[in-house]
Amino acid sequence: MTSTPLAGPTTSVDRRRLIASLIRDIPDFPQQGVGFKDITPLLGDAAGFRATIDELVAAAPADIDVVVGMEARGFIVGAPVAIALGAGFVPVRKPGKLPAETYEVSYDLEYGTETLTIHTDAIRPGSRVLVVDDVLATGGTLAATAGLIHRLGAELVHVAVLMELAFLHPRTMLAGAGLGETEITALVTIDDA
């Protein structure tokens, strides 16, 4: 069975417009006062999903060894990016989900705390790593993941996210966490809640 190329936007600007149009707001989820950016309409639209992967791949620098995606939506967008780049994929998961020995880190979220884990042998030292995720909100998840990557002796060379919630000022937090020089690409930037 051969796949048929999807018809869709042909320019980066048009792809990013399509992507933005397929993200919906869900008020008060997962708790009162939080405005959730829902990407399920985007994932359910073949042209929109393809545009997302194409744009994330285009953002990647050359010679990526490993793509890292965080649970759970980072898996959805990170794995196809890894395939397109000819790179491996490494999941960063919540505690108790990875079967071998792990490193873990806890961090603060916009609305609570979380812990992430990675296998201690998931990435070879010196590997060039691209982190792919759906959203850059406060920067806590990315900073925690970067800490795990560095603990494995790998080099975080780029971050590509579907959307950045700029009104939460994540880049300020990331600079304070030592990631100010890390290049970050956001396909969609949301400036207000």
Task: Report the catalytic residues.
Answer: 73, 110
Paired sense of beta strands 128-136 and 102-109, if any: unpaired
| 104: β partners | 117
Number of H helices, E strands in the chain: 6, 9
Q: Is 125 helix (H, G, I), strand (E, B) or coil?
A: coil
The rounded distance, in Å, linking the Cα atoms of 171 and 98 is 29
Peptide bond just before 58 cis, omega within 30 deg? no
- Closest residue by Cα to residue 15 from 44, 69, 75, 56: 56
